Amino acid sequence: MNKKKNGSIKVSHFFAMMLFLFLLAGISYVWVNSKRTQMGYSLSHIKKEIGQIREYNRKLKLEIASLKSPGRLESKAGEEFDLRYPLPQQIVFLP
Amino acid sequence: MRIKDKRWIRFRIYITGVCFFLVFCLILLRAYQLQILKGSQLSSLAKKGYTGKLTLTSQRGTIFDRNGKELALSIEVDSLYCNPKKIKNKRTTATHLARALDLDKRDVLKKLHSSRSFAWIKRKVTPEEIKSVRELNITGIDFTNENRRYYPCMEAGAHVIGFANQDDRGLEGIELQYNRYLEGQEARFSMLHDALRRTLVFDGSKIEEQDPFNLILTLDKDISYKAQKALRNAVQRSRARSGVCIVMRPQTGEILAMAVVPEFNPNIFWQYQPYEWRNRAITDCFEPGSTQKTFLLAGALEEGVISSETVLNCEKGEYAIGRFIIHDSHPFEMLKVSEIIKFSSNIGAIKIGQRLGAERFNYYLKQFGFGEKTGIDFPGEREGILRPIRNMSLVGKNTLYFGQGLSVSPLQLAMAFGAIANGGHLMRPYIVKSIVDQKGETIRNFYPLIRRDVISHETAEKVRGILEGVVRKDGTAPKAAIKKYSVAGKTGTAQKVDPINKTYSNKKFVAVFGGFTPSDSPALVILVALDEPKGVPYGGVVAAPVFSDVGYWSLNHLNVAPSFPPPTRLPRYNRGRDGGQVNKILRILLKEKREP
């Protein structure tokens, strides 16, 4: 009688363990999926930000190119700093 | 418990078990139906719900100069559109929009009355305009992103770079020629999204994409600016109709600058007339005038029919060919060949030509590239006119020797001067140095190409020596001389043909100066041509100063060492505040150089 009782306890323990593992696996699966979705959103957000930064970078490049355009530099140098091109006799060529 | 009761309980358990079993079988059957029988159909239906395709138009490629400076690049800007069906008070909306965007109210109203659900209001608007439209807060008006092309150097190099239209398609210049490389293709991406259509995973897996390529040109942005400025000033000073200035490397055929006046700003190209967009250095042809004597001299020296010391009779400035009399600007008598070129005697040129022969001269003209395209990578090139000798009259053959009866493009002329500077090798000109992808890796390189050897190295050296005389004080172009650098070149003042009378005009000229510097080791070939200058029309007066100005600036910019040895004694600079310090530094530098 005791042997029979011990056997049924072991079986119920086994089933409880199996149920626990099944639940654990299920929870883990849901958690991983949820994390994956969150990562997806943040990845998408970062990609968008990269696109915006790249575009901003291009705009800055255009601004630099415009600010460094020879015409603008020449007029600024003349107007603001009173700079002039040196005359041929003012240039010394070093040997 | 009675046995009957026990049996009843067992029966109920069995019934419950059977029910569960049947339900389980039904679930299995349904699962089989959904997963196996309709599996592929349903999974594709589900996929449609959470995946999508995003279409992006990639930006047009960037154009750089030889030093990696941006000449043309695209950035995203906002464009304004409307859904006319959603706009309630169209008249008031049109008034507000017209005021905010500086548009005609009737045009805006016409767009708002459109039967379609989409109409552009204004494309590529400025940030200020965006702000003012947003403040209006009108339903049915929205913004979308578009690419806009910008040209930071504005007029400098504009005729070479060309421009692209609103839809990012190249219309002129390099933008047109290399449109297929520069053009951004539509890129389609796969993506996942949630029920609210928010992008869930933007995995970047591209279904189809062709990134545009960037171009690296041979142009130098600074030299282009200088050439444009110097040419603009010369055209304004001489009140010429137009002007061209080409700066080229003779050893490679790389075009460093190609300035054209009338000029245009490619950022607002639609505000200019099409004739202002034209790259006259490539598309326009004119009679080369006395610059042609350079190639006559080269041919005659190559054939050995003359030497630089050969003396020819210049007939005191008048020489009869049939019933026509050819004149010189000064009545020369006996002149050496070098002097004929130096003083640009037409009669002397005829005498050289008669020794060479018209057929052989024509052969050399063809060898120098006249009458055929140079092969430059640019749209709309003209080959000019070089008629066969058999179709020419006696006077036609003789006037050909001093540059009448044929037409050449400024680029052809520059390349021919380049052949002399380059020891007789005629090069193919080119503007695009390489095509690179977005990561900077080279896709295609363009290399210098020798089209043919026209004359020997020795003949080229002799021609160089004679052309140096042209820029001396007693030559026809002392204004082309560059301080501390040797210059070789030739002037030309060609009469234009009057299209009505079909005779040579005495009022309309093309003034030309072509040459290279430093003549002993040429770094630059520069050609300047001014169309119909008013006042004194001579090439040595109106075109030569541009050569000198652009040449001097460009040689310094390129750090080309001067031809003449530097002074052993340093000049004193005491004018500036730091004059003493500069002298001290220079003395130290020279001392260190000399001591070892």
What confidence tens digit (pLDDT) does each residue in B21-77 have? Answer: 999 999 999 999 998 888 888 888 888 777 777 666 678 999 999 999 999 999 888
For helices B346-356 and B293-303, give the axis angle rounded to 10 degrees. 40
Nearest CA in chain A to B229: A71
Phi-psi category of residue A17: left, alpha or beta, with phi > 0 → left and psi -120 to 50 → alpha? alpha
Q: Do A44 and B483 touch (CB under 8 A)?
A: no
Which of B70, B200, B225 has the CB atom closest to A70's CB atom? B225
**Residue-level pLDDT at B596:** 36
Query: Is A93's CB within 8 Å of B571's CB?
Result: no
Is B248:B254 a contact under the CB 8 Å cutoff? yes
**Contact call for B586 and A94, based on CB within 8 A:** yes
β pairing state of B214-217 and B63-64: parallel
Measure CB to CB from residue A58 to each of B75, B483, B552 and give the nearest one: B75
Long-range interactions of B389-396: CB distance < 8 A, separation 24+ = B389/B358, B389/B359, B389/B362, B392/B358, B393/B322, B394/B321, B394/B322, B395/B321, B395/B322, B395/B324
Contacts of A59 in chain B (CB under 8 A): 75
Question: How far apart are the CA of A28 and the nearest CA of chain B, in angstroms?
Answer: 21
Contacts of A55 in chain B (CB under 8 A): 75-76
Question: Does residue A15 have a pLDDT over 50?
Answer: yes
Distance CA A85, CA B225 (A): 15
Nearest CA in chain A to B586: A94
**3-state class (DSSP) for residue B326:** strand
Rounded to a whole number of angstroms, the distance from the CA of B29 to the nearest CA of chain A is 24
**Beta-sheet pairing, B425-427 with B163-164:** unpaired
Q: Give Cα B519 to chain centroid, integer Å.
A: 27
The pLDDT assigned to B593 comes to: 47
Instruction: Write down how long chain B is.
Output: 596
Show residues of chain A in contact with B156, CB under 8 Å: 69-71
Mean pLDDT value across chain A: 85
A12 vs chain B: nearest CA distance in angstroms?
A: 20
Task: Take residue B101 and report the two structure tokens written for it.
Answer: 């965007």
Nearest chain B residue to A46 by CA distance is B202
**Which 48-67 residues of chain A touch chain B by CB within 8 A?**
48, 55, 58-59, 61-62, 65-66
3-state SS class at B495: strand
Which secondary-structure segment (H or E) carries B224? helix B221-238
Contacts of B177 (CB under 8 A, 6+ apart): B162, B170, B377, B378, B379
CB–CB contact B73 A92 (8 Å)? no
B561 touches chain A (CB under 8 A): yes
Contacts of A47 in chain B (CB under 8 A): 202, 204
Rounded to a whole number, what is the distance in Å from the CA of A61 to chain B's nearest CA?
8
Query: How many interchain CB pairs under 8 A, A with B?
Result: 84
What distance in Å separates the CA atoms of residue B571 and residue B574, rounded to the nearest whole number? 10
Q: Which of A37, A44, A85 sits opposite B202 (nearest CB)?
A: A44
Interchain CB contact of A68 with B (< 8 Å): yes
pLDDT of residue A3: 60
In degrees and rounded to multiples of 5, residue B415 shows phi and psi of -65, -35
Yes or no, beta carbons of A88 and B552 under 8 Å apart: yes
Q: Is the Cβ of B221 closer than 8 Å to some Cβ of chain A?
A: yes
B198 in reach of chain A (CB within 8 A):
yes
**For B548, which residue in chain A has the nearest alpha carbon?**
A88
Name the band, by pLDDT with cuts 50, 70 and 90, for residue A48: confident
Interchain proximity A95–B69, CB inside 8 Å: no
pTM over 0.90: no
Nearest to B200 among A44, A69, A85 (CB): A44
Q: Do B484 and A93 touch (CB under 8 A)?
A: yes
Distance from CA of A16 to the nearest CA of B (A): 22
Rounded to an integer, the average pLDDT of A12-24 is 91
How buried is residue B329: exposed, middle or buried, by Cβ count under 10 Å (0-12/13-18/19+)?
middle
* Residues in chain B with pLDDT values less than 70: 1, 54-57, 186-190, 199-210, 565-596
Tell me what pLDDT residue B472 has. 93
Residues of B in contact with A65 (CB under 8 A): 69-70, 73, 152-153
Contacts of B211 in chain A (CB under 8 A): none
Complex prediction ipTM: 0.70
Burial class (CB in 10 A: 0-12, 13-18, 19+), B489: buried
Catalytic annotation, residues of B: 290
Nearest to B590 among A61, A65, A95 (CB): A95
Find the CB nearest B153 among A55, A69, A93.
A69
How distant is the Cα of A43 from the closest Cα of chain B, in angstroms? 7
Structure tokens at B73: 């690049």
Residue B581: per-residue pLDDT: 61
